[in-house]
Amino acid sequence: MDTRAATTDGPDAAAVESRIVIFIVLFLLDGTCRALLVTLVPQQAYLLLGSALAVSLLYFAAAFLGLVASLAMPAVLHIVARRHLLTAGCFGIVVSVGLMALATPWSLVAGLMVQMVATAAIEILLNLYLLEQIPRRALARFEPRRLLYIGSAFIAGPWLGVFLHYRVLENATFALVALSATLLAVYFWRFRLTDGAPPDRRQPVPRPLKSIPRFFRQPRLVLAWTLAIGRNGWWTMYFVYTPILVAAAGFGPEVAGAIVSAGLLPMLLVRQWGRLGERYGMRRLLMAGYGIAGFGTLAAGLAIGWPGAALALLCASAFGAAFLDGAGNTPFLRAVHPYERAAMTSVFMTFRHAASMAFPGMFVLVLAVSPLAGVYVASGVVTLGMAALSRYIPCRM
């Protein structure tokens, strides 16, 4: 199968469809690795470290390492071929779950750190290959299918990962993640996706930090970045602290997986949420999504004395958060100038790691002075603040 980048004359439709299928499988395998661990790892961290505060510190440190790895990626790619770096990322996932399977505090910490770096590398490299291999006009056909398959993995994965570990065979989830990462590498090498033109090593090593001042001089880009941090930060809170709430309330571990999976069910309707944004405007969609998620999370914090009610409110909040994924990164895509897309995109994509640092960092401070309920109250207040910020999105969106 020819998987070289499409020419400007227009590739054959069958060849484009074949490449779309290849990338859907690659992204699905990557999503499976993350989805199976998204509930189990916070549970294990809470069990081994003993407090929500310690878990917050761990995720803050891991996110910081992921951010450094992401910013360093252009420099690393200047000296290492993409295909070798992606293979190393897959190997890193295998190493990370091997460490986690040892079930000691330090092996879990080391495993999460390795996973964060490996996941950052795989995500960046798959997107680079995607932009080179799939024609721009075919991306509109590819993206909804990618979201559907990855969404399905994240709906099943949180519950399945916990179920396999506790009810089938201890460490079975880690073995399945290692298998998925290995299959990702094998499938990638099976089709030998081309790396494009090699970097000119006579040129200076790329310095992505140079783009940051230009990015933050543009208010619309800053607004889009801030809103993306709010969206990703809410999901970080949901994935990490829902298992902790379940454990603190004395429910079985599968309950956490079931609650996280149930909250992700609205993701299957992400295309419908996107259509609502097209019909009523992205500003209204984001205000509604952040508003529902914010009020629901705040109410969950106030109702934490009744764990069942708090968990139900968190699921309702996730319904509102799904609206935000319908909008996706549209505020950024509509605001960025075409002539500086590459540079500004490298800065904008730091929102994932920035959110994974900012929210656990905030929760470290909250948990130092309040019980677990403070996490949900603080998250609800910040999310409502994002609803207020959404009012500044231009009406024409």
Give the predicted TM-score (pTM) of the model.
0.80
Q: Are 274 and 173 contained in the same domain?
A: no
Q: Are 167 and 299 contained in the same domain?
A: no
Least trusted range by pLDDT, from 11-15, 53-57, 152-156, 332-336? 11-15
Q: Are 222 and 184 contained in the same domain?
A: no
Least trusted range by pLDDT, from 6-10, 69-73, 100-104, 376-380? 6-10
Least trusted range by pLDDT, from 1-5, 26-30, 145-149, 272-276? 1-5
Domain stop point among 164, 195, 226 = 195
Residue appearing with tokens 């992700």: 264
In a domain, 340, yes or no: yes
In a domain, 158, yes or no: yes
Q: Are 141 and 56 contained in the same domain?
A: yes
DSSP-derived 3-state class of residue 205: coil
In a domain, 201, yes or no: no
In a domain, 159, yes or no: yes
**Highest averaged pLDDT of the listed ranges 111-115, 122-126, 335-339, 353-357:** 111-115
Query: In the predicted model, is pLDDT for residue 8 greater than 70?
Result: no
Q: Which helix (H) or strand (E) segment is 124 a member of? A: helix 105-133
Mean pLDDT of 64-90: 86
Structure tokens at 44: 């294990």
Q: Quick one: pLDDT band at residue 93, thresholds 50, 70, 90? A: very high
φ/ψ (deg, to 5) at 117: -65, -45
Q: Are 251 and 312 contained in the same domain?
A: yes
In a domain, 200, yes or no: no
Return the pLDDT at 196.
Answer: 58
Query: In the predicted model, is pLDDT for residue 322 greater than 80?
Result: yes
Range of the structural domain that residue 164 is part of:
1-195
Q: Tens digits of per-residue pLDDT, 301-311?
A: 999 999 999 99
Least trusted range by pLDDT, from 102-106, 122-126, 198-202, 246-250? 198-202
Mean pLDDT of 9-15: 63
Q: Is the dihedral of CA 171, 173, 177, 179 positive or negative?
A: positive
Return the pLDDT at 396.
Answer: 61
Instruction: Determine contact, residues 133/15, Cβ cutoff 8 Å.
Output: no
Return the pLDDT at 256.
Answer: 87
Give the CATH number of the domain where residue 295 resides. 1.20.1250.20
Q: Report the number of distinct structural domains present in the chain.
A: 2
In a domain, 203, yes or no: no
Query: In the predicted model, is pLDDT for residue 250 greater than 60?
Result: yes
Return the percentage of the chain with pLDDT > 70, whole number: 86
Q: Are 244 and 390 contained in the same domain?
A: yes
Q: Are 160 and 274 contained in the same domain?
A: no
Return the pLDDT at 363.
Answer: 93
Residue 80 and residue 73: Cα distance in Å, rounded? Answer: 10
Q: Are 356 and 311 contained in the same domain?
A: yes
Q: Are 212 and 191 contained in the same domain?
A: no
Least trusted range by pLDDT, from 129-143, 157-171, 206-220? 129-143
Residue 168 and residue 292: Cα distance in Å, rounded? Answer: 37
Least trusted range by pLDDT, from 32-46, 197-211, 229-243, 295-309? 197-211
Mean pLDDT of 236-251: 90
Residue 215 and residue 196: Cα distance in Å, rounded? Answer: 27
Domain stop point among 161, 195, 229 = 195
Residue 299 and residue 290: Cα distance in Å, rounded? Answer: 14
In a domain, 374, yes or no: yes
Return the pLDDT at 70.
Answer: 81
Query: In the predicted model, is pLDDT for residue 134 greater than 80?
Result: no
Q: Are 30 and 146 contained in the same domain?
A: yes
Give whole-number Cα distances, 50 to 43, 158, 238, in Å: 10, 21, 19
Domain stop point among 195, 226, 257 = 195
Return the pLDDT at 132.
Answer: 76
Query: In the predicted model, is pLDDT for residue 80 greater than 80?
Result: yes
**Highest averaged pLDDT of the listed ranges 8-12, 124-128, 185-189, 215-219:** 185-189
Q: Are 163 and 267 contained in the same domain?
A: no
Mean pLDDT of 77-95: 91
Return the pLDDT at 331.
Answer: 80
φ/ψ (deg, to 5) at 50: 90, -5
In a domain, 202, yes or no: no
Return the pLDDT at 205.
Answer: 55
The rounded mean pLDDT for the chain is 85
Return the pLDDT at 194.
Answer: 65
More reliable by pLDDT, 25 or 283: 25
Return the pLDDT at 6.
Answer: 41
Q: Tens digits of per-residue pLDDT, 104-122?
A: 999 999 999 999 999 988 9
Q: Are 182 and 246 contained in the same domain?
A: no
Residues with Cβ within 8 Å of 298's Cβ and at least 6 positions away in sequence, in order, are: 376, 377, 380, 381, 384
